[in-house]
Chains A and B, each alone.
Chain A
Amino acid sequence: MTTLQSPAATGARPAGPPVRRTRRSWTGWGFIGPFALVFALVFLAPLAYSIYLSLFRTQLIGGTSFVGLDNYEQALQDGRFWDGVLRVGLFLLVQVPIMLGLALLVALAIDSGRLFGKDFFRISVFLPYAVPAVVATLMWGFMYGPRFGLVGDINDAFGVRLPDPLSSDLILASIGNIVTWEFVGYNMLIFYSALRVVPHSLYEAAEIDGAGQWRVITAIKLPAIRGALVIATIFSIIGSFQLFNEPAILQKLAPNAITTDYTPNYYTYSLSFSGQQHNYSATVAIVMGVVTMIVAYVVQLRGMRKGA
């Protein structure tokens, strides 16, 4: 039997004669150089440039001037921005649990081994994720059409009047539906692959102990994939805060329901491309990035702590 001992306590291998390295070796840098360069170029540079931009203001009259943190002050008091944050926050609270719940249900069903044709289900549930978001939104947008779309056809065929999915009241739910459709498969795959690595011996042990399926799920499967759940939740939070494609495309169909500041990302896009306010747009993007980071970090901390 071996016992673990801390390396310091063993003393078996002293650090050896202290070789003074007078010459600084650059070999290490040579190895990480290519990575560091690309990393700096594609991650750090755009970030730094956005921060740099956010400290200036360019006006049609008066040109560019350094304004320090004025843009940040404006962003913190900008009702249009915070309305957008609240909107994606609401979206997050409602859509993410539904989407992850569905994904978990499907993953458990496929993993249960009792599903006939599980490969078919796995592929077909995952398929929407392979459809580009833009195409998916255009497709759904067409189906939502109350006049000549699917909703319109149903209305005509059955003589009913379905509520208009593109109206101001329902548009957020309609967007949620599209996003859920797109991402259930993706999250299902994360959960499913996490479930696949649970050792089979645990199930056998559970069976010997006389545990039912429900007990197996709550006592073995869910705790085993907690990490995957947290990761999927964080991805979904970031995804919700970055909501852009769906509102940007549906805006053409429902211009009065989706304003140019509908989500924070769409707001930065409008500021930049129709308002020429690149500086302020960069500021809003940075503030939104910080908000996203904070929320994601809090969720991660809580999720992991419970896991410990």
Chain B
Amino acid sequence: MPKHSRRLLRGLGLLCALALGATACGSDDDNSDQKAVGAADIQAALKKGGSVTVWAWEPTLKQVAADFEKKYPKVDINLVNAGTNNDQYKALQNAISAKKGVPDVAQIEYYALGQYALTKDVTDLKAYGADKLAGSYSPGPWNSVKSGDGVYGLPMDSGPMALFYNKKVFDKHRIAVPTTWDEYVEAARKLHKADPKAYITSDVGDAGLATSLLWQAGSHPYKVDGTKVGIDFTDAGAKKYTDTWQQLIDEKLLMPVVGWSDDWYKGLGDGTIATLPIGAWMPANFVSGVKDGSGDWRVAPLPQWTKGADTSSENGGSSLALPELGKNKELAYAFVEYANSGEGVQTRIENGAFPATTKDLNSEAFQNTEFPYFGGQKANKVFAESARNVPADWKYLPYQVYANSIFNDTVGKAYVSGTKLSQGLADWQEASLRYGSEQGFTIDK
């Protein structure tokens, strides 16, 4: 028995030593980034060459990487798909904790970037002159990569909201395409009455959609000031959203089908889901996933909370950031700038991406692109208009990834039981704040 426990102890000691080593042995050479890196330094690095590891799932980057390598033959871009959004964040978080295997460039969605910026796990790109690019991006995405006065990534794409609608369904039942959310509810009623199998849209509670609609309604639920956070889902904007959406839920006008499921794709294809309020990156998914709906769908501006207004919001979109522990920062920045601000943007647009740069959004060629899927409609005009109308004052939580993961635990209840949507949001608020305080944030009531 004593022998046994001695062995156990020895093993334990070894483990502790290992674990402590992992945390204590990491070299801490921070504070080396404050000096400015000029264009000359970057050019010199490009001449000298080296390799850059990029973690991204955005498919259009493949061509960009190839072009970049052609332009700078000494630079080797190692493009890795480490999983899509959450999967990649898990891998990235693990690499950062282990201080090993951290990529030099990582794709991070806007709603998730704040977390990395807060813990300084991504590099402030101001030193590389990123702040001078402020004017070249649309306000929504640019605001999303900024935190305090730092710039923690360059916007890669954006998702200004629009209303995708099945024109065939609307024509068949002689329903007008809604321009306000009140009309939207009215259209939902008419449609479901005319065809009990058809719904205005499908929604079982989606944090991305809810926050985008709150954003458009002028709500400012998240107040973030460094390590101080406050959440309030009771302002006037939030009330507009809950009042309207509650009607859709109460009258069972939302198809209870989860987004991106087989049922969902089928519903989009066979006309039982009549509209989809979502980001401008959606067309590529329609083309690949909803072949049956080709020619039926069109794009309209997002319905408004106030008649005659033209406010929009962002839904999704991501940036490229430089993890603090990455290497070859100059080269990495050069690649990010090439892909998200330089020549790479055009390449990516040609392959179906939706840009965040105003120059491209407003270019003649981009706006006049006809989408065969949308019956030849010049859909980019609607998207570009929407991108211009995104209020720039929205903030996500510094731990939005976690908050979104518990959305259905709390707000989801409103979709399946007698709980009111406003109560669901209050529960979400409470649970999110509790997590915040567990993580050491100061809670601003």
Contact, CB under 8 Å: A59 / B15 = no
B329 at the interface (CB under 8 A from A): no
Contact, CB under 8 Å: B402 / A36 = no
Contact, CB under 8 Å: B86 / A255 = no
A180 at the interface (CB under 8 A from B): no
Q: Determine the distance from Cα of A261 to Cα of B402 in the docked complex, in whole angstroms.
A: 13
Task: Please choose the segment from A87-95, A187-195, A211-219, A274-282 that sits at the chain B interface, where 4 or more of its residues have CB less than 8 A away.
Answer: A274-282
Task: Please choose the segment from A10-18, A45-53, A227-235, A296-304 that sits at the chain B interface, where 4 or more of its residues have CB less than 8 A away.
Answer: A45-53
Contact, CB under 8 Å: A148 / B412 = no
Proximity bits, B109-130, A CB within 8 Å = 1, else 0? 0000001001100000000000
Q: Determine the distance from Cα of A251 to Cα of B53 in the docked complex, in whole angstroms.
A: 34
Q: Determine the distance from Cα of A44 to Cα of B7 in the docked complex, in whole angstroms.
A: 10
Q: Determine the distance from Cα of A10 to Cα of B440 in the docked complex, in whole angstroms.
A: 73
B350 at the interface (CB under 8 A from A): no
CB interface residues, B 57-110, toward A, < 8 Å: 86, 90, 93
Residue of A nearest to B14 (CB): A45
Contact, CB under 8 Å: B115 / A60 = yes
How many pairs of residues, A versus B, come closer than 8 Å at their CB atoms? 86
B423 at the interface (CB under 8 A from A): no
B227 at the interface (CB under 8 A from A): yes
Contact, CB under 8 Å: B15 / A48 = yes
A159 smallest CB distance to B (angstroms): 13
Contact, CB under 8 Å: A256 / B261 = no
Proximity bits, B384-410, A CB within 8 Å = 1, else 0? 000000000000001101100110110
B325 at the interface (CB under 8 A from A): no
- Which residues from chain B contact A242 at a C-beta distance below 8 Å? none
Contact, CB under 8 Å: A274 / B401 = yes
Residue of B nearest to A80 (CB): B409
Contact, CB under 8 Å: B440 / A52 = no
B415 at the interface (CB under 8 A from A): yes
A270 at the interface (CB under 8 A from B): yes
Residue of B nearest to A74 (CB): B438
B266 at the interface (CB under 8 A from A): yes
Contact, CB under 8 Å: B118 / A60 = yes
Contact, CB under 8 Å: A277 / B438 = yes
A145 at the interface (CB under 8 A from B): yes
A124 at the interface (CB under 8 A from B): no
- Which residues from chain B contact A142 at a C-beta distance below 8 Å? 262
- Which residues from chain A contact B349 at a C-beta distance below 8 Å? none
B413 at the interface (CB under 8 A from A): yes
Contact, CB under 8 Å: B204 / A255 = yes
Contact, CB under 8 Å: A275 / B435 = yes
- Which residues from chain A contact B8 at a C-beta distance below 8 Å? 44, 48
- SS class, residues of chain B in contact with chain A: helix
A147 smallest CB distance to B (angstroms): 5
Q: How many residues of B contact A (CB 8 A)?
A: 42
B227 smallest CB distance to A (angstroms): 5
B185 at the interface (CB under 8 A from A): no
B6 smallest CB distance to A (angstroms): 12
Residue of B nearest to A142 (CB): B262
A78 smallest CB distance to B (angstroms): 11
Contact, CB under 8 Å: B261 / A252 = yes
Q: Determine the distance from Cα of A48 to Cα of B93 in the docked complex, in whole angstroms.
A: 23
Contact, CB under 8 Å: A275 / B402 = yes
- Which residues from chain B contact A62 at a C-beta distance below 8 Å? 440
Proximity bits, A47-67, B CB within 8 Å = 1, else 0? 011001000000111101000
Contact, CB under 8 Å: B438 / A59 = yes
Contact, CB under 8 Å: B258 / A274 = no
Contact, CB under 8 Å: B439 / A61 = yes
Q: Determine the distance from Cα of A122 to Cα of B265 in the docked complex, in whole angstroms.
A: 40
A50 smallest CB distance to B (angstroms): 10
- Which residues from chain B contact A148 at a C-beta distance below 8 Å? 262-263, 266
B371 at the interface (CB under 8 A from A): no
Contact, CB under 8 Å: A60 / B405 = no
CB interface residues, A 20-42, toward B, < 8 Å: 36, 40
Q: Determine the distance from Cα of A277 to Cα of B118 in the docked complex, in whole angstroms.
A: 17
Contact, CB under 8 Å: B416 / A257 = yes
B118 smallest CB distance to A (angstroms): 7
Partner of B441, one of A48, A49, A60, A255: A60
Q: Determine the distance from Cα of A276 to Cα of B112 in the docked complex, in whole angstroms.
A: 13
Contact, CB under 8 Å: B16 / A52 = yes
Contact, CB under 8 Å: B258 / A59 = no
Q: Determine the distance from Cα of A218 to Cα of B419 in the docked complex, in whole angstroms.
A: 52
B365 at the interface (CB under 8 A from A): no
Partner of A60, one of B263, B415, B440: B440
Partner of B19, one of A36, A49, A59, A270: A49
CB interface residues, A 180-212, toward B, < 8 Å: none
Contact, CB under 8 Å: A61 / B227 = yes
Among B90, B263, B401, B441, residue most surrounded by chain A Cβ atoms (within 10 Å): B263
Partner of A36, one of B7, B12, B262, B416: B7
A168 at the interface (CB under 8 A from B): yes
Q: Determine the distance from Cα of A231 to Cα of B86 in the docked complex, in whole angstroms.
A: 40
Q: Determine the distance from Cα of A270 to Cα of B403 in the docked complex, in whole angstroms.
A: 12
Residue of A nearest to B266 (CB): A148
Contact, CB under 8 Å: B405 / A45 = no
Contact, CB under 8 Å: B409 / A260 = yes
Residue of B nearest to A147 (CB): B263
Proximity bits, B204-223, A CB within 8 Å = 1, else 0? 11000000000000000000
B94 smallest CB distance to A (angstroms): 10
- Which residues from chain A contact B115 at a C-beta distance below 8 Å? 60
Residue of B nearest to A258 (CB): B408
Residue of A nearest to B415 (CB): A256
A245 at the interface (CB under 8 A from B): no
- Which residues from chain A contact B19 at a C-beta distance below 8 Å? 49, 52
Contact, CB under 8 Å: B439 / A253 = no
B12 smallest CB distance to A (angstroms): 5
B23 at the interface (CB under 8 A from A): yes
A71 smallest CB distance to B (angstroms): 11
Partner of B258, one of A36, A49, A255, A275: A255
Proximity bits, B1-40, A CB within 8 Å = 1, else 0? 0000001100110011001000100000000000000000
- A-B pairs with beta carbons under 8 Å apart, 23 shown: A45-B11, A45-B15, A49-B15, A52-B15, A59-B440, A60-B439, A61-B118, A61-B227, A147-B263, A148-B263, A253-B261, A255-B204, A255-B205, A255-B412, A256-B205, A256-B415, A256-B416, A260-B405, A261-B409, A273-B90, A274-B405, A276-B402, A277-B438
Complex A-B, nearest 6 residue pairs according to Cβ-Cβ distance, in ascending order = A61-B440, A256-B412, A59-B440, A274-B405, A255-B408, A62-B440
The interface of chain A, by Cβ under 8 A from chain B, is: 36, 40, 44-45, 48-49, 52, 59-62, 64, 142, 145, 147-148, 167-168, 252-257, 259-261, 270, 273-277
Give 11 new A-B contacts, CB below 8 A, not counting A61-B227, A252-B258.
A60-B118, A145-B263, A168-B416, A168-B417, A252-B261, A255-B258, A255-B412, A256-B204, A274-B86, A274-B401, A274-B406
